[in-house]
A and B are shown apart, each in its own frame.
Chain A
Amino acid sequence: DARVTQTPRHKVTEMGQEVTMRCQPILGHNTVFWYRQTMMQGLELLAYFRNRAPLDDSGMPKDRFSAEMPDATLATLKIQPSEPRDSAVYFCASGLETGYQPQHFGDGTRLSIL
C-alpha cells in the first residue's frame, strides 16, 4: 500500500536550534496537512496545502513555524528557533480533495526540545 513518508522519525535537539521535518505525500495526492499531537491537546491542525498552495496556516505559530511545499513530492515544516513547548509528535497527512476523500497519515516525527 502507498504510504506517507516522514523523516526523521525522531529528533532530539536543544532549544534555539532549527528543526526541519519532511514529508513525502502519497503519489497523486494533492492535499497535504501538518498536525501536531500532544497528550493535552490531541491532534491539532497546523497548516495545509492544496496543489502545493498554502490554504490555511492559522493553527501555526507564525513567528517560529513555517511550512512549504517546494514540489509535489515534498512538504516541509520548520521551527526556528525551537522551544521546549514545541516537543510533540508531528504528523503529515495527504489526500485527494475530490469527494472529501480521507486523509492518510505518516508515522510522524517525534520531536523533543531540551
Chain B
Amino acid sequence: GQQLNQSPQSMFIQEGEDVSMNCTSSSIFNTWLWYKQDPGEGPVLLIALYKAGELTSNGRLTAQFGITRKDSFLNISASIPSDVGIYFCAGHTRGSNYKLTFGKGTLLTVNP
C-alpha cells in the first residue's frame, strides 16, 4: 500500500524558532492534510490542500502541496509552547476510495 515518509520524527526547539516538517511519498496524492494531536485528544485538522502547488496559511502555520503531488511541507513560524504536540500529514491517493494514508507523525517539543 501507499506509504508516507514523514520527517523529522521529533524536534526539540526553543520558543520563537521556526519549524519545518515534511512528508514524501512514491505515490501521487490528490489531497494533503496536516493534523495536530495534543495529549489525550484526537487529531485536529490544521490545513487542507487540494491542488498541486497550493500554498495555504492558517495563522503562523503554512503548508504547501508539492508540485510533483508526492510531497508536502508544514512550516510553523515563531513557535510558542502551545505548539507542542504530534503533527501528522495525511492524504488521499487516486483510487483510495476516501481512505486517508497517514504519516507516522512528528513530535514537536518547544522549550519556553
Chains A and B form a bound pair: yes
Which of B14-22, B57-65, B66-74, B100-108 touches A?
B100-108
One digit per residue, 1 when the CB lies within 8 angstroms of any chain A CB and 0 when it does not, for chain B 75-100 equals: 00000000000001000100001111
In A9-67, the 8 Å CB interface with B consists of 31, 33, 42-43, 45, 48, 50, 55-56
Of listed B43, B99, B104, residue having the most chain A CB within 10 A: B43
In the bound complex, CA of A95 to CA of B48 (Å): 13
| Known A-B contacts A43-B88, A100-B30, A100-B31; A105 and B102 likewise in contact (beta carbons under 8 Å) | no
In angstroms, Cα B97 to Cα A48, docked, is 10
Inter-subunit contact B105/A42 (CB<8 Å):
yes
Q: In the bound complex, do residue A105 and residue B43 qualify as a contact, i.e. CB atoms below 8 Å apart?
A: yes
A56-B97, A56-B99, A107-B40 as given contacts; A102 in contact with B48, CB under 8 Å: yes
Chain A residue contacts of B45, Cβ below 8 A: 102-104
Closest to A35 in B: B102
The answer to whether B23 has its CB under 8 Å from any CB of chain A is no
B11 interfacial by beta-carbon distance below 8 Å = no
Within 8 A of B (CB), among A49-96: 50, 55-56, 91, 93, 95
B→A interface (CB under 8 Å): 30-31, 33, 35, 40-45, 48, 50, 88, 92, 97-100, 102, 104-105
Could you list which residues of chain A lie within 8 angstroms of chain B, going by C-beta atoms?
4, 6, 31, 33, 42-43, 45, 48, 50, 55-56, 91, 93, 95, 97, 99-100, 102-108, 110
Q: 22 A-B contacts, Cβ less than 8 Å apart?
A: A33-B99, A33-B100, A42-B104, A43-B88, A55-B97, A93-B42, A95-B98, A99-B50, A100-B50, A100-B98, A102-B31, A102-B33, A102-B45, A103-B45, A103-B100, A105-B35, A105-B42, A105-B43, A105-B44, A106-B42, A107-B40, A108-B41
